[in-house]
Amino acid sequence: MAGFATGLIVGAGTAILGPVIVKPIVKEAIKLGLLAYEGSRDRLAGAGSTIRGIVEEAAAESQEGSARSNGRGRKASQAAASG
């Protein structure tokens, strides 16, 4: 019977004090999670724009390289055909 009474007292104390103790801890955990999310979102957005810029530069260089090699190929084939 003593174990039941102890359990009942601990249970009642937890029910009464639990929200007072647990609520601030949970709120702080949520706040930290939100801060981490916002920081990550900003960093990822910056990384995305950097990657986008690199891809655009690579595409432009690739197009320039293709145009140059096509121009050389045409000149060489024209010279061979006329010569």
Q: What is the pLDDT of residue 49?
A: 85
* pLDDT given at position 15: 82
Domain span at residue 38 reads 23-71
Q: What is the pTM of this model?
A: 0.44
Residue 1 lies in a domain: no
Question: Would 2 be classed as within a structural domain?
Answer: no
Q: What is the pLDDT of residues 19-52, one digit of tens each?
A: 888 888 889 999 999 998 888 888 888 888 888 9
Q: How large is the average pLDDT for residues 1-18?
A: 81
**Which residue did the predictor score with more confidence, 58 or 10?**
58
Q: What is the mean pLDDT of residues 54-64?
A: 90
6-35 burial, b for 16+ CB within 10 Å, e for fewer? eeeeeeeeeeeeeeeeeeeeeeeeeeeeee
Question: How many folded domains does the chain comprise?
Answer: 1
Q: Has residue 14 been placed in a domain? A: no
53 domain residue, yes or no = yes
